[in-house]
Structure 1
Amino acid sequence: MKAGFYDKQSEKAYAEIPRVQASSRVMLEVGQFSVGQSYVTAKVRNRHGDVVNINIEGGRLGIDLQETLFRLAGRTPKAVYIVTTINETGKLFVRKLPVLGVKDWLLLYEDDLFLLAVKDAYDEIEIILV
């Protein structure tokens, strides 16, 4: 049973998620966020068991993928969907982000996701490559 959506943008993006064409799905269990001046960071484990940093900041919209978290096979997808559940309300937060490139860290650029991370409002992020 869903508690609904965080906002109208989440509801619209959720309806757009391809149900069978996603090339890769990754569920990241996020530990505690460390808050910087204009960003938050957290550590996650990749599929090899190595610790990888993620950085979430506001401002521009997009994502820089980290190769050991995804099976990219030499290609860079055009977009990803970010899905998370807000802890206190159970509401779904969903965004479609353009892929900007591939970096050593997983970098997410989205204002609301950043503000929710500052509040430690979620523990997992699902990233769906399309």
Structure 2
Amino acid sequence: MKGGFYDELSEKTYREMPLRLQAVGKVMLHIDRFEVGQSYVTAKVEDRNGDRISINIEGGRTGIDLQENLFRIKGVMPKSAYVTTTINDTGKLFVRKLPVLGVKDWLLIYEDDLFLLAVKDAYDEVEIIAV
């Protein structure tokens, strides 16, 4: 690992990730900029069909609501999702495993540290693997 890990939880979660994931869906999202609200951040990304999709990241509870067009969920609801990103300034890897709460029109990520890093504009790509 070139830059190391963001924290102990990232390292532990990374090591727990199965080598060959039986992924229901996997996406890599490039984020141009975050819009900061009171208790959340939003961003717009383009999906594989050229449609603009909204992402909402907020603190508080822990979990993720997947956006159906991004993950093409058909019949199998994933139980969890691994969210990874590399911190721009340090090159450190941030990893979290979040329970999948459901499917929404937006991609909603609930995770305190990811929210705080977004407020600081500390990353510009997020990979999500739903399993």
Q: Normalization by structure 2: what TM-score?
A: 0.96
Instruction: Tell me the equivalent position of 2:30.
Output: 29
Instruction: Tell me the equivalent position of 2:9.
Output: 9
- Deviating runs (4+, > 2 A) in structure 1? none
Q: Which moved more, 1:11-20 or 1:91-100?
A: 11-20
- Indicate conservation of the 8 Å contact 1:84/1:92, yes or no: yes
Question: Match of 1:63, as an amino acid?
Answer: I
Instruction: Tell me the equivalent position of 1:116.
Output: 117
Instruction: Tell me the equivalent position of 1:64.
Output: 65
The SS at the match of 1:15 is helix
Displacement after TM superposition at 1:22 (Å): 3.3
Q: Which moved more, 1:14-23 or 1:80-89?
A: 14-23
Instruction: Tell me the equivalent position of 1:77.
Output: 78
In the TM superposition, what whole-angstrom CA distance separates every residue of 1:85-125 from its partner, at most 9, and x where no partner exists?
00000000000000000000000000000000000000000
Displacement after TM superposition at 1:76 (Å): 1.3
Instruction: Tell me the equivalent position of 2:40.
Output: 39
Question: Superposition RMSD on alpha carbons, in Å?
Answer: 0.9
* Pairs aligned (count): 130
- Identical positions, percent: 71
Gaps of 5+ in 2: none
Question: Match of 2:15, as an amino acid?
Answer: A
The SS at the match of 2:60 is coil
- In 2, the alpha carbon distance for the partners of 1:37 and 1:29 equals 23
Question: Match of 1:53, as an amino acid?
Answer: S
- In 2, the alpha carbon distance for the partners of 1:19 and 1:72 equals 22
- In 2, the alpha carbon distance for the partners of 1:87 and 1:21 equals 26
- Indicate conservation of the 8 Å contact 1:22/1:128, yes or no: no
Displacement after TM superposition at 1:2 (Å): 1.5
